[in-house]
C-alpha cells in the first residue's frame, strides 16, 4: 500500500511535469555529493530529450538565504533533487508564483499546503528514505515513468544509492527493484568478489598495501606487499605495466584470498574480505565498479566540478577522463587536510569524548565532513566520541559533526540544539550532520558547541 501511494506520487509528478511550458528554462538545485550529481544527471537527460534548457546549482546545504536568492531569479520551474525536503516549508513559502518539484529522500521539515509544490519523498508514506531509495532513485522513477526509454538510466540510480551507502550485502525494496531492472537490461552485473576499493584503477600492490580491511604485517609497507605477492606466485607486473586486481586470473584471485585470510587469522573475522561488486557492463577502467564511479562523482561535487561528473554519467568520454584527473586532485586535498590535522594536534579543543577542530582556511569547506568521517573511522578515538570539524568557504563556515561508531545518538539533534542557541542553520541526518554559520559567529558557536557536546557525551 505505502509503495503504491509513493509510486502514485511519482505519477502525479509526471502529470504535473507534462503541464509545464517546456520553452521555459528549468532551474535545477542539487546536493553536492555523488547521489546529488547522479540525480542531476538523470534530470539533465530528461531535459535534453524534451529540448528544455536548464541551469544547475550544486549546493552543500540549503540555507534560507540561498532559498531567497533562488526565489529572486526569473525562472518559473524549479527542480530540487536529493535536497529540499529538509526545507520543504521554507521553499514553499518563499518560492511564490513558481512551479516547484522536489525529489528527495531526506527527512522532511514540515508539510506544505502550497499546491504549486510537487513533493516526491518516500518518507511521506513511511518508506525508509535512508535505506530503500536514494535521490537519484527517485529521479530515475520519475524519468522512467515519463518515458520508458529512460529505464536505461537505472544504473545511474544505483551509483547514487551506493554513494549514499545504501548497500549492505545487497539492496532493500525500491533500490533492489531498480537493481533488478538494471540487471535485466544488461546495465549492471553483480559479482561476489574482494571488497577492496580500486579493483579497476589501482596497481595491485598499492591496493593491498592500504586496503580496508587491513592486511596485517604488510599494511603501509610497499616492499613487504610485493614480497607477499611473490610468495603467493602472483606477479605484480606484466612487463613494464603494473597489474590491477581485475587483471588477476581466477586461480590467482583464489590464492590471494587464502593468502590474505591466513595473514588475518588473528582478526575478529579473517574472512571478511568479500562483498558484492556492482559492475557496469558497458564501462571500463575506473568507471566499471559502481563504488569507484560514485567516488569520482563525489570528488567532482566537492571540488566544484559537478559538470564533469554529470558528463561522466551521460557517457562523455572526454569529461570522464577529466573526472578521473579530478579524483587525484581530490585525493591530494584529503591528504593535505590530514597532514594539516596531524601537524596541528595541539590546537584542537579536546574533551573527554569530543573534539572540535576549526580548520579555518586550511582545508576546503567541502571536505570538512570528509575529514571528520576519516577521523571517526581511524580507530584512534574511543567509541561514541563526537568529532566536530569546521572550515571556511568564501562566504560562510561549514560545520560537520561525525561520531565514532553509531551508539544511537542522533547527530542532527545535537547540531539543531547548538544552532538553536548559537545561530546558523542545521542540516544532515542521524550519522552525518552539519551546519552553516557565519564566520563572525565561529567563536560563539564553538563555545556553545562545547557545552552541548559535553552534555551529549556525559556518562549516564
Residues forming contacts to Mn ion in the complex (CB under 5 A) are 35, 82, 134-135, 164
164 or 425, CB closer to Mn ion? Answer: 164
140 or 200, CB closer to Mn ion? Answer: 140
Q: How far is the CB of 82 from Mn ion (least distance, A)?
A: 4
Q: What separation in angstroms does the CA of 36 have from each of 27, 64, 126, 161, 293? A: 15, 19, 22, 10, 13
Name the residue among 340, 457, 330 with its Cα closest to residue 389. 340
Query: Whole-angstrom Cα distance, residue 113 to residue 52?
Result: 28
134 or 294, CB closer to Mn ion? Answer: 134
Compute φ and ψ for 427, nearest 5 degrees.
Answer: -155, -175
Q: Which residues contact 150 (CB under 8 A, 6 or more apart)?
A: 42, 45, 46, 140, 143, 144
164 or 333, CB closer to Mn ion? Answer: 164
Is 287 within 8 Å of 275 (Cβ atoms)? no
Question: What residue has cell string 582556511?
Answer: 361
154 or 226, CB closer to Mn ion? Answer: 154
Compute φ and ψ for 278, nearest 5 degrees.
Answer: -100, 110
Query: Whole-angstrom Cα distance, residue 137 to residue 159?
Result: 9
Q: Is 261 exposed, middle or buried (0-12, 13-18, 19+ CB in 10 A)?
A: middle
Q: How far is the CB of 163 from Mn ion (least distance, A)?
A: 7
Q: What is the distance, to the nearest Å, from the Cα of residue 193 to the centroid of all Cα atoms in its chain? A: 23
131 or 288, CB closer to Mn ion? Answer: 131
82 or 145, CB closer to Mn ion? Answer: 82
Q: How far is the CB of 219 from Mn ion (least distance, A)?
A: 32
Q: How far is the CB of 84 from Mn ion (least distance, A)?
A: 11
From the CB of residue 198, how many other CB atoms can be counted at a distance below 10 Å? Answer: 22
134 or 358, CB closer to Mn ion? Answer: 134
DSSP one-letter string for 51-110: T--EEEEEES---HHHHHHHHHSS-SEEEEES-SGGGHHHHHHHSTTSEEEEE--SPPS-
Query: Whole-angstrom Cα distance, residue 355 to residue 353?
Result: 7
Name the residue among 409, 419, 421, 362 with its Cα closest to residue 389. 362
Q: How far is the CB of 167 from Mn ion (least distance, A)?
A: 13
What residue ranges in 228-381 does DSSP mark as E strands?
Answer: 237-238, 241-242, 274-280, 349-350, 354-358
Q: How far is the CB of 103 from Mn ion (least distance, A)?
A: 10
Q: Name the residue with the smallest CB distance to Mn ion.
A: 35
Q: CA triplet 19, 92, 65: central angle to 5 degrees?
A: 125
158 or 248, CB closer to Mn ion? Answer: 158
82 or 289, CB closer to Mn ion? Answer: 82
Q: CA triplet 457, 387, 304: central angle to 5 degrees?
A: 150
Q: How far is the CB of 150 from Mn ion (least distance, A)?
A: 19
Q: How far is the CB of 230 from Mn ion (least distance, A)?
A: 43
37 or 414, CB closer to Mn ion? Answer: 37
Question: What residue has cell string 558497458?
Answer: 282
Q: How far is the CB of 315 from Mn ion (least distance, A)?
A: 22
171 or 381, CB closer to Mn ion? Answer: 171
Residue 83 Ramachandran class (φ > 0 left, ψ -120 to 50 alpha, else beta): beta
Q: How far is the CB of 337 from Mn ion (least distance, A)?
A: 23
Q: How far is the CB of 460 from Mn ion (least distance, A)?
A: 33
Q: How far is the CB of 32 from Mn ion (least distance, A)?
A: 11
Amino acid at each position: 500500500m505505502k509503495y503504491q501511494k509513493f509510486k502514485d506520487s511519482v505519477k502525479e509528478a509526471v502529470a504535473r511535469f507534462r503541464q509545464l511550458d517546456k520553452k521555459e528554462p528549468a532551474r535545477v538545485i542539487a546536493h553536492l555529493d555523488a547521489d546529488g550529481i547522479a540525480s542531476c544527471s538523470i534530470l539533465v537527460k530528461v531535459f535534453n530529450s524534451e529540448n528544455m534548457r536548464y541551469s544547475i546549482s550544486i549546493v552543500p546545504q540549503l540555507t534560507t538565504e540561498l532559498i531567497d536568492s533562488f526565489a529572486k531569479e526569473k525562472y518559473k520551474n524549479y527542480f530540487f533533487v536529493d535536497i529540499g525536503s529538509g526545507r520543504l516549508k521554507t521553499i514553499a513559502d518563499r518560492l511564490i508564483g513558481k512551479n516547484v518539484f522536489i525529489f528527495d529522500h531526506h527527512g522532511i521539515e514540515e508539510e506544505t499546503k502550497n499546491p504549486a509544490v510537487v513533493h516526491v519523498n518516500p518518507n511521506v508514506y513511511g518508506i525508509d528514505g535512508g535505506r530503500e531509495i536514494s535521490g537519484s532513485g527517485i529521479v530515475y522513477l520519475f524519468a522512467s515513468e515519463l518515458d520508458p526509454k529512460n529505464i536505461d538510466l537505472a544504473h545511474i540510480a544505483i551509483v547514487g544509492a551506493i554513494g549514499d551507502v545504501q548497500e549492505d550485502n545487497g539492496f532493500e525494496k525500491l533500490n533492489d527493484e531498480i537493481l533488478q531492472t538494471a540487471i535485466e537490461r544488461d546495465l549492471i552485473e553483480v559479482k561476489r568478489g574482494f571488497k577492496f576499493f580500486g579493483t579497476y584503477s589501482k596497481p595491485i600492490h598499492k591496493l593491498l598495501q592500504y586496503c580496508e580491511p587491513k592486511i596485517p604485517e604488510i599494511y603501509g609497507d610497499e616492499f613487504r606487499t610485493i614480497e607477499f605477492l611473490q610468495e603467493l606466485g602472483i606477479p605484480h607486473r606484466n612487463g613494464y605495466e603494473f597489474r590491477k586486481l581485475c587483471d588477476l586470473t581466477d586461480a590467482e584471485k583464489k590464492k590471494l584470498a587464502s593468502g590474505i585470510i591466513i595473514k588475518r587469522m588473528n582478526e575478529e573475522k579473517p574472512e571478511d574480505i568479500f562483498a558484492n561488486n556492482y559492475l557496469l557492463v558497458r564501462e571500463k577502467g575506473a568507471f566499471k565498479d559502481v563504488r569507484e564511479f560514485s567516488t569520482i562523482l563525489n570528488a567532482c561535487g566537492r571540488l566544484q566540478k559537478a559538470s564533469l561528473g554529470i558528463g561522466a554519467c551521460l557517457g562523455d568520454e572526454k569529461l570522464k577522463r577529466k573526472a578521473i584527473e579530478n579524483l587525484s586532485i581530490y585525493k591530494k586535498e584529503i591528504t593535505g587536510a590530514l597532514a594539516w590535522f596531524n601537524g596541528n594536534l595541539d590546537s584542537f579543543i579536546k574533551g573527554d569524548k569530543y573534539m572540535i577542530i576549526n580548520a579555518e582556511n586550511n582545508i576546503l569547506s567541502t571536505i570538512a565532513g570528509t575529514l571528520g568521517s576519516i577521523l571517526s573511522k581511524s580507530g584512534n578515538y574511543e567509541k561514541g566520541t563526537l568529532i566536530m570539524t569546521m572550515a571556511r568557504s568564501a562566504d560562510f563556515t561549514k560545520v560537520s559533526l561525525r561520531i565514532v561508531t553509531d551508539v544511537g545518538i542522533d547527530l542532527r539533534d545535537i547540531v539543531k540544539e547548538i544552532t538553536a542557541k548559537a545561530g546558523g542553520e542545521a542540516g544532515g541526518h542521524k550519522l552525518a550532520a552539519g551546519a552553516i554559520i557565519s564566520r563572525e559567529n565561529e567563536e560563539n558557536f564553538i563555545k556553545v558547541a562545547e557545552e552541548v557536546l559535553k552534555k551529549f557525551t556525559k556518562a549516564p
